Amino acid sequence: MKTRRRFFLVLVAMGVAMFDFPAEAQRGRGIVQDEAKEPADKSETIRPSGLEPVFPEKVRCPEIASPFGSRTRYDGSSRPSWAPGGGSHGGIDITLAAGTPLLALAAGTVVAKGEGGRMLGIYMWLSHSPEETGLPDWVFSKYQHLETLPELSIGAKVSLGQVIGRSGKTGTTGGHYGFNGYPHLHLTTLRSAEGEYQIEGSRVISRDGRIFDPLALYHEAGVRMERTAGMPPSGKGVVIPYVAADGRAWPANTRVVWPIACPPR
C-alpha cells in the first residue's frame, strides 16, 4: 500500500513539474504567426493600441466597425474566448456592401491567396517593403472575406490604391451571422524587421513577425498631414490618408491609404 502511495505522489510531482514552466518558457520565442493559428498567449499581445482614426470631413470614408484588440464584434456581441486570439480581435473590421472595391493600402507584392473555411473565407496577402511604406519594417497585409478569388497572380506587383479585390462575406455564413453572413473587410497587418517569409496554409510566417494595429500604418502619414494642413496635433487621433473618387491619393505624397476609396460628402 505504501509503495502504491509513493508511486502516486511521484506521478503528481511529475505532473506539476511538466506544467509549472516559467511564463516566458511557456510562450516560447521566435516566429509569431497570423490569426489563423496563434500561440495560446496571443490575447496578451493583441491589445487595443489607443489609436483612433480621424477622417477628413470633406469625404465619407468607411469607418471601423470592430477595432484592433476589441473583445466585441461590430454588432456588440462578445467574441468567444475559444476563437483565435482568445477573443481579442487580431485586425480591424470595416462593414461594406458585398462587391465594394478594395485598394492596396500601399505599393507591394501579392505573396499568397486562397480560400479557407469558417472565420477565414477568401483571402489575399500582400507584402510591403520599407521603401514602399516609409516605415522601418516590412509589412504584410491580409484582406479577408473577399467576394471572389482575386485574379492577381502570386508575385504580381500592385501600386498604391490599386483595386486588388472586392469585399464579400465568405467565411462568415452559418455561424454567428447565420445564413446571410456579414459582408465586410477584415484587415490584418503583420510587421517584421526582415522581408523573408514562408507560406503555411493561409498564414504568412515571418521571423520576429508581430501583428499590430493597422492604424499604426497611418500614424506617421497622419502627423505629416497635420503639419501640411496646419492642424493641431491630434494626440492619439490618426488622420487617415485616402484615395478620392477620382482615383487621386490625398495627400499627394502619402505612401499609405485607407483600403477603401472615400467619396465626397
192 has a pLDDT exceeding 80: yes
Please compute the mean of the pLDDT values over residues 29-38 and round it to a whole number.
32
Average pLDDT of the segment spanning 52-73? 94
pTM here is: 0.79
Give the per-residue pLDDT at 223.
56
Cα–Cα distance between 240 and 198 in angstroms, integer?
31
Residue 46 banded pLDDT, cuts 50, 70, 90: confident
Grid coordinates representing 214? 493597422
Q: What is the mean pLDDT of residues 42-54?
A: 78
Residue 165's CB: how many other CB atoms inside 10 A?
23
Q: Is 235 exposed, middle or buried (0-12, 13-18, 19+ CB in 10 A)?
A: exposed
Percent of the chain exceeding pLDDT 70 equals 76
**Helical residues (DSSP H) of the chain, grouped into ranges:** 2-19, 23-27, 42-45, 130-133, 215-229
pLDDT for the residue 156:
98
- Digit-coded pLDDT (tens) for 205-257: 988 899 999 999 998 665 555 555 655 555 688 989 999 999 999 999 899 99
Mean pLDDT computed over 176-181: 92
pLDDT at 25: 26
Class of domain 49-250: mainly beta
Determine the average pLDDT of the residues in 172-195: 94
At 28 the pLDDT is 25
Q: Which residue has the higher pLDDT, 206 or 94?
A: 94
* C-alpha torsion 39→42→45→46, nearest 10: 140
Measured CA to CA, the distance from residue 39 to residue 33 in angstroms comes to 8
Hey, which residues does 153 pair with through a beta bridge? none
Least confidently predicted of 42-46, 120-124, 126-130, 186-190: 42-46
**Average predicted confidence (pLDDT) for the chain:** 82
